[in-house]
Chains A and B, each alone.
Chain A
Amino acid sequence: MSLQKEDVEKIAHLARLAIDEADIPDYARNLSNILDLVERMSAIDTEAVTPMAHPLDMPQRLRDDVVSEKNQRERFQKIAPQVENGLYLVPQVIE
């Protein structure tokens, strides 16, 4: 399976990655190689195999429903670019 320039641009946009126009052919080739590998695996009959959700073969451990976290807002907000009235400020997102 071979990815086109537009595919690479779409994938980059979905991941919010800025990429150099000049690098696109390389990305396309590398990503296509990965897909080719997956393609080859499609040839194997997996009818009777349960899809693996996780490489570790064990169930999820559960925790009790207890509030264990204290308010550390000041600490967290020290590393935020901009805060006001306890809110994190971000560039306006509504149109």
Chain B
Amino acid sequence: MNWEVVIGLEIHAQLATKSKIFSGASTAYGAAPNTQACAVDLGLPGVLPVLNKEVVRMAAKFGLAIGARVAPRSVFARKNYFYPDLPKGYQISQYELPIVEGGHIDIDLEDGGTKRIGVTRAHLEEDAGKSLHEDFHGMTGIDLNRAGTPLLEIVSEPDMRSAKEAVAYMRKIHSLVRYLEICDGNMQEGSFRCDANVSVRPMGQQELGTRTELKNINSFRFVEKAINFEIERQIDVLEGGGEIVQETRLYDADKDITRAMRSKEEANDYRYFPDPDLLPVVIEPAFLDEVKAGLPELPDEKRQRFVEQFELSAYDAGVLTASREIAEYFEAVVVAANGVAKLSANWVMGELTAALNKSGQDITDSPVTAQMLGGMILRISDNTISGKIAKEVFEAMWAGEGDADAVIEAKGLKQITDASAIEPIIDEIIAANPGQVEQYRGGKDKLFGFFVGQVMKATKGKANPQQVNELLKAKLNG
């Protein structure tokens, strides 16, 4: 039987505020346990939550960026459940009236097309603390530093039909929240997490199959692997005559499997009700206008501009706008290279990306700055160096030997473009290889490359390749 896969994602993006959503405690990552957990975060009696304005602004920013409706009135609700890292016994979240409703994201498909993925809603909520299950004499340690950190939970429609689409969607949201500067996107630190709802149904069937929820998957690679494993598992169960149980499953990256979490029959009885400690959040049109005016150029807009302004292919523009940092680096290279865009694009996507991947560094920490790379590209475009020599210059810059001009000067890499300097070398080579010359003239065209190689070798690669070609051709044929 042919199966259709149906996937929806819930993404939790930690909002990049200085203080918590309902208290003035710091949200900085990595502090000593419980040093950033104040009375409000601990849920001590008598405390009241006071909403952080920046959290509202960030949610509105996201809503506007995905073409959603930013609710003029939204309401916080209590989601009730007991767990030690949730001291109040409820999580403040939004339920019936979320702050963002109904937007969309366009993802790129492998066949070059695009697909629109609906965003059902995005709501604000507080994060819980952390439980440490290491050995504390049979007890569990609780760190409440994370409790009360603002989260934006972004819920998609079940519009994705493969693990690849789910990853493309997740990457797009990841890129967007970083462009908007509302989330640092750090997946290792848990600032950007994802749950996936996965089901399968016979191709052509309208009704959705029973879904399972895969929890807390913390890398793009694992999202794809976890979903693919789960798809296979569900199809195996159904084809074996079994039924899918609606349950929460955890992905085990070491074994590359998903397994059921312990069953909690009452897990979903959250008994939501409006939080009496918080009044409805009202967003005035003036506030929204202000947020709109402050929106940066969004990834899709930037990509379109790169295609038009720099005459790049849609693919190249997509790679160069995948993150705000890459886009900013690239634009700075183009400026430094006096507007030479295509070559700049090739270097950023090629040598630079390869070197960064190899050293495991981010583009913002690149030893070769945008100004240095642009300066080097300028020297390629004004024929001071050839593309081949440029690789040597790049390596030297990477190793900290200075900018392009300094490296070219110090290593004597300046290209020989003076015909009167190249001609005698060609004459020597022709004189030294009478046999090859004869064969070439006799019709063995392939030998041309041999002569080019000899000239380049004699000039240590510094001769201008185009000039060498022209001069050689003239002399050999003449």
Contact = CB atoms under 8 A, between A and B. Distances in A.
Interface string A41-57: 00000000000011010
B447 interface: no
Contacts of A60: 51, 278-282
A34 interface: no
A61 B142 contact: no
A91 B282 contact: no
Contact of B83 (A58, A64, A76, A93): A93
Contacts of A82: 139
Nearest to A68: B24
A14 B80 contact: yes
B278 A88 contact: no
Interface string B1-35: 00000000000000001110001111000001111
Given A14-B266, A87-B141, A87-B142, A73 B26 contact: no
B33 A85 contact: yes
Given A13-B266, A85-B33, A65 B51 contact: no
B269 A14 contact: yes
Contacts of B44: 76
Interface in B263-309: 266, 269, 271, 274, 276, 278-282
A15 to B, nearest CB: 8
Given A14-B266, A59-B279, A66-B18, A90 B142 contact: yes
B249 to A, nearest CB: 15
B275 to A, nearest CB: 9
Interface residues of B, number: 53
B140 interface: yes
Interface stretch (B128-136, B159-167, B192-200): B128-136
Contact of A66 (B19, B89, B266): B19
B42 A76 contact: yes
Interface in A62-95: 62-69, 71-73, 76-77, 82, 84-95
Contacts of B17: 65
Given A13-B266, A14-B266, A73-B35, A87 B280 contact: no
B37 interface: yes
A69 B25 contact: yes
B16 to A, nearest CB: 10
A58 B278 CA distance: 10
Nearest to B130: A87
Interface residues of A, number: 37
A16 interface: yes
Contacts of A88: 34, 84, 141-142, 144
B8 to A, nearest CB: 27
Contacts of A62: 50-53, 56
Interface in A12-46: 13-14, 16
Given A67-B18, A87-B34, A76 B262 contact: no
B139 A59 contact: no
A94 B420 CA distance: 81
Interface string B116-137: 0000000000000001110010
B125 to A, nearest CB: 15
B88 to A, nearest CB: 13
B281 A86 contact: no
Contacts of A87: 33-34, 132, 136, 141-143
A92 B133 contact: yes
Contact of B140 (A61, A65, A73, A89): A89
B53 A63 contact: yes
A48 B54 CA distance: 34
Nearest to B287: A62
Given A69-B26, A76-B34, A90 B140 contact: yes
Contacts of B83: 93
B93 interface: no
Given A53-B97, A60-B281, A90 B24 contact: no
Contact of B281 (A13, A59, A65, A72): A59
Given A62-B52, A88-B144, A93-B84, A14 B280 contact: no
Given A64-B54, A87-B141, 6 more contacts: A64-B53, A72-B39, A76-B42, A85-B33, A87-B143, A94-B131
7 A-B pairs closest in CB distance: A68-B24, A87-B141, A59-B282, A65-B54, A62-B53, A86-B33, A69-B38
Interface of B: 17-19, 23-26, 32-39, 42, 44, 50-56, 75, 80, 82-84, 89, 97, 131-133, 136, 138-144, 262, 266, 269, 271, 274, 276, 278-282
7 contacts: A10-B266, A56-B279, A63-B50, A67-B24, A68-B24, A87-B143, A93-B84
